[in-house]
Structure 1
């Protein structure tokens, strides 16, 4: 199988932006990957890719972990990522891709319009944010932005925020890798990309950290939101055009 170099470059770009913007690389990697692979293959590759990415973040941003959030946000995330991953097997890929596009559009517009949006730092909101982000991660492949919104309420130092988010994300990815494997999403012919994606997870996180050191995160967050908006729009338009060609 021939390796698509441009796809790997996009994966590196997704990892760098995900680290800087604080949303995680999957919000970029999943919709971009859909241009090269079927949706289920992308889910399988995303889980494996993220394992390396999150281990790198935990190591590079090792300034401590917020144990409260690991417990109250991380545990429900793991429970609901299993539910989301299980349900994804029973939904049509068109429905999943279209839902992803709408999710990205709504998410980016929400954050761009409601810049002052905050979530109160409570156990209830942590449990709810964990459940929604985990379910979204299992069903659509990405849920980091919802988790980030919940975590932002606790006003943590930037390195602690990233390390804690990465630790929770690692728990999610480790769990959903088994779910996706059981669902048949991890295909032998896609495994040729795994070594490259694992390396990209490390390099992209390192480069993202270096850039974040010199440039304000808020500026990149707005850029990331605009890119998410564009990717969501392109995803929806692509699906609309494909179905029109098929006569639907």
Structure 2
């Protein structure tokens, strides 16, 4: 059942963001985080991004504005590499704080806290 839910959400968000041009990670990452650890969820979201971008490239790539592609695409590649490196650096850090809720002990790790803040903004 989880695979069906994840597949449907990934498909619907990919279609929805095809027209807006943004938001795939914002919508899909929290859903993936319900089913996977955060570093895997981000990686899976990256795979969906890649597949979605390939689909868009073959569908409408010949109509793309080359200047916009160079001004935003090239920096985006470098930013993605830096973001991946940072994710690897902070994913093994100790929890920032812990708390108990409904009889459960929960830890807040830096990677989860940073991703939560980024998703809020």
What TM-score comes out, normalization by structure 1 length? Answer: 0.38
Distance 2:29 2:77 in 1: 19
Indicate the residue corresponding to 2:17 in structure 1: 18
State the superposition RMSD in angstroms. Answer: 2.2
Q: Which position in structure 2 is the counterpart of 1:38?
A: 37
Partner residue in 1 for 2:67:
68
Aligned in 2, Cα 1:57/1:24: closer, same or farther, shift over 3 Å?
Answer: farther
- How many residue pairs get aligned? The number is 105
Q: CA deviation at 1:84?
A: 1.5
Instruction: Specify the SS of the correspondent of 2:78.
Output: helix
Unmatched tracts of structure 2, length 5 or more: 93-108
Aligned to 1:23, the other structure's residue is in SS state: coil
- Partners of 2:61 and 2:71 lie apart in 1 by 20
Task: Indicate the residue corresponding to 2:104 in structure 1.
Answer: none
The question of whether the paired residues in 2 share the 8 Å contact of 1:18 and 1:28 is answered with no
Displacement after TM superposition at 1:24 (Å): 4.2
Verify the 8 A CA contact 2:91 2:111 in the aligned structure 1.
Answer: yes
Any gaps of 5 or more consecutive residues in structure 1? 107-248
- Using the size of structure 2 for normalisation, the TM-score is 0.71
Q: Deviations over 1:72-128 (max 9, x none)?
A: 22222212221111111111473223222222222xxxxxxxxxxxxxxxxxxxxxx
* Cα distance change of structure 1 residues 20 and 66 upon mapping to structure 2, 3 Å threshold: closer
Q: Which residue of 2 aligns with 1:85?
A: 84
**Is 2:116 aligned against 1:101?**
yes
Q: Greater share of strand residues, 1 or 2?
A: 2
Residue number in structure 2 paired with 1:136 = none
Matches within 5 A, 1:72-151: 72-92=71-91, 94-106=109-121
Alpha-carbon contact 1:18-1:27 (below 8 Å) kept? no
